[in-house]
A and B are shown apart, each in its own frame.
Chain A
Amino acid sequence: MNQIVTIAKKEFKDAIRNKVFLTFLIFLLGLTAISIYVGSVNYQAKVSLFEKTYAQLIVNGQPSDTLVKPEFFPLQLLRATIEYLEIIGAILAISLGYLSIAKEKGNGTLPLIFTRPISRKKYYIGKMLGNIALIVSISVILFLFTFLLIRFVGGVNLNSLEITKILLTTGATILYLFIFFSLSALFTIIVKHPSNALIFSFVIWLFFVLIVPQIGDTMDTDNQVPGGFFNAIHVNKEQSNIILKDFSTYEKLRNGTEEISITKHYERLVFAFLGIKDMYNNKFLGFIFKDKLQDLDLIVIFLLVFGITPVYAFNRSKNLWQQNE
């Protein structure tokens, strides 16, 4: 146990000293600030548009009761932050997984380390725990920073339910980032040249984080026309659900495409926590968990598969002894 803790501590310290890690952390913090600011500017623009339209209707003597004033939900300001975590957070996790294995492979230090009385499994678990501690620290720093921005710059007091929702989002983010860490570590373990492992990880990242959700989104019939296809032909939500029943195979295929992306499950879960999807706004956690259980289950399955596989691969891989290219 002592050996695992020692390796974990060393891993943590090494990562903090690494320029790649620091660059990404600063980048993410900057993006969080920018996205919250842009979110608030967007909200103010909506309110201003509402006020102008309202005033115009009053001047024209037209009824204004159909206009709905945009409501302010502070957690919705986190939308772009979450999207950046999906994209850049995943790259950060990939960099941790890659660096964690590649530096040992590149320096050729592994044969030396294993002359000491430590098993491969313990060594990898130590590295993994060090990186988990790092991922937890990053997520906590990021969401604490978000909380402080909303509280002191935005001047919004979050209630206990909202704070709990931010904590749950932090937890889900840790799981999501850990999956990408493990994926990248796995590639670096099994692929002969570490740089190729990094490129493979980027390709997988690109495919599952950006391309697959994008395909699902663009295949949505309602997304074919700006403002919504059904809106353009004056069909409401209930009616569109009835009409789409005849296209269930297409809808299943579209949804199935999205479902293979871990990012989509993370997004669905976290958007529900934060009320970014309107139907989850002001809802209790029990309702959200019940409704998003499938997404949570799939995140845990991904986590188990990608969490355990590198431990096994590290124990067996012959490519670990590969020296610098």
Chain B
Amino acid sequence: MKNTLTITFAEIKSLFRERIVYSITLVFILMSMASSFIGWSTFTTANAVYKSSVVFLQGQGITNIASNPLLKISTLTSFDNLIIYISLIGALLAIIVGHHSMMHERKSGILQVLFTRPVTKKSVIFGKVLGLSITIFSIVGITALISILSSYFLPLTPLNFSDISHLLVFFFISFLYMLFFAVIGLYFAINAKSQSLALFLPVCIWVGITFILPELGTGLTPTALLNPVTLLQLPILDTFFQVSQKLLAPFSLAWHYYTISGELLGSSFTASLPILKVLMKNILQILTLLGGTFIFLFLSIKSLERFDSKGDVVNE
């Protein structure tokens, strides 16, 4: 246990010393701030467009004017862009953090030295994963704090206790989602013979999970999958997509993440659902996400147990 904690703290220190890690963390946090601003400016403009439309239609002699569709929008909809940014920048950041966590030690030969000490390979992995979890949790925590604070600085509808609780649960689910990618980054950093392959393979898996599996299950093209408004409003699905969605469910983690997040934050066509209801409804999806993380964690432990640090050479 002591060894694991020592590795955990060393891991956190090492990650925060990496310029590339905190550069991307900064990009991620800035994008989260931008997300609130984009949500606010778009909502404000769309409201103003509605008012102008009413004046314009009245000028044309039309009296039967539809009510403002934006009034049905949930308070948390202005945070919808975060779902996309976390699935893009957050996941990539997590892969890089996971990659750095092991690749740095393989390249510098630290691993070889580490294994001469009385530490088990299991405790190395657990220490690293704990370090990764704390790092990612901190990044997500800062993002959550900024997002909640931004709602007080931007003239959005004030957030009540329920809204803040929904946001916090959303950020916790986002943390789990990012952790999954961090463990994938770690797994490939242990196994790949070259550093480039250790980065490209998890990126391929990420592209597959983010774009290909949802497309096969819904028919939505990659661009449509990046629009939080249209993302969760699916047309009636053809039999092909109904079947493929069921078959791909165990692997379609991005889609599960979009669904849970959409239900928590609400969208332009639904109000956000009560937290417990969302969690109960999506229990299988949450378990799938956790299951994916544990599978790659297990595979990482097995790979490290087989790992021979003496003959290890990492190519570019």
- Give min CB distance, B195 to chain A, whole Å: 5
A133: Cβ under 8 A from any B Cβ: no
- Cα A215 to Cα B80 with chains together (Å): 12
Are A195 and B103 interface neighbours, CB within 8 A?
A: yes
Which single residue of chain B is at the shortest CB-CB distance from A95? B200
Is the C-beta of A243 less than 8 angstroms from some C-beta in chain B? yes
Distance between Cα atoms of A34 and B42 in the complex (Å): 35
Interface string of B135-159 (1 = CB under 8 A from A): 0000000000000000000000000
Q: Known contacts A195-B103, A221-B46; is A211 also within 8 Å of B219 by CB?
A: no
CB pair B238 A45 closer than 8 Å: yes
In chain B, residues 34-69, which have Cβ atoms closer than 8 Å to a Cβ of chain A? 34, 38, 41-43, 45-46, 48-50, 52-53, 56-57, 65-66, 68-69
Chain A hits for B45, CB < 8 A:
219, 221, 247, 250
Q: For residue B315, which residues in chain A have a CB less than 8 angstroms away from its CB? A: 103, 106
- Chain A: which residue is nearest B64 at the CB level? A234
Whether a CB of chain B sits under 8 angstroms from the CB of A87 is yes
- CB pair A80–B215 under 8 Å, yes or no, is yes
Q: How many residues of A contact B (CB 8 A)?
A: 70
How many angstroms between the C-alpha atoms of A70 and B65 in the bound complex? 30
- CB-nearest residue of chain B to A84: B222
Among residues of A, the one whose C-beta sits closest to the C-beta of B203 is: A91
Answer yes or no: A127 CB below 8 A from chain B CBs: no
Give, as a whole number of angstroms, the nearest-CB distance from A108 to chain B.
11
Contact B70 A210 (CB under 8 A): no
Query: B1 contacts the other chain (Cβ, under 8 Å)?
Result: no
B56, B66, B230, B268: which contacts A239 (Cβ < 8 A)? B56
Instruction: Name the prevailing secondary structure of the A interface residues.
Output: helix
Q: How far is the CA of A235 from the CA of B49 in the complex (A)?
A: 11
Known: A41-B240, A223-B230, A225-B70. A198 touches B196 (CB 8 A): yes
For B231, give the chain A residue with the smallest CB separation: A226
The contact sample of 25 A-B pairs, CB cut-off 8 A, is A20-B196, A38-B215, A49-B236, A79-B221, A80-B222, A83-B223, A84-B211, A91-B203, A102-B196, A102-B316, A195-B103, A195-B316, A199-B20, A199-B199, A202-B92, A211-B85, A218-B38, A221-B46, A221-B49, A224-B70, A226-B230, A232-B69, A233-B68, A235-B57, A324-B316
5 other contacts beyond A84-B211, A102-B196, A226-B230, with CB at 8 A cut-off?
Answer: A19-B197, A41-B240, A218-B42, A224-B268, A234-B66
Interface residues of A (CB under 8 A from B): 19-20, 23-24, 27, 31, 34-35, 38, 41-42, 44-45, 48-49, 79-80, 83-84, 86-88, 91, 95, 98-99, 102-103, 105-107, 194-196, 198-200, 202-203, 206-207, 210-211, 213-215, 217-219, 221, 223-226, 229-230, 232-235, 239-240, 242-244, 246-247, 250, 324-325
> B residues engaging A (CB < 8 A)?
19-20, 23-24, 27, 31, 34, 38, 41-43, 45-46, 48-50, 52-53, 56-57, 65-66, 68-70, 73, 81, 84-85, 88-89, 92, 96, 103, 107-108, 194-197, 199-201, 203-204, 207, 211-212, 215-216, 219, 221-223, 226-230, 233, 235-236, 238, 240-241, 268-269, 315-316
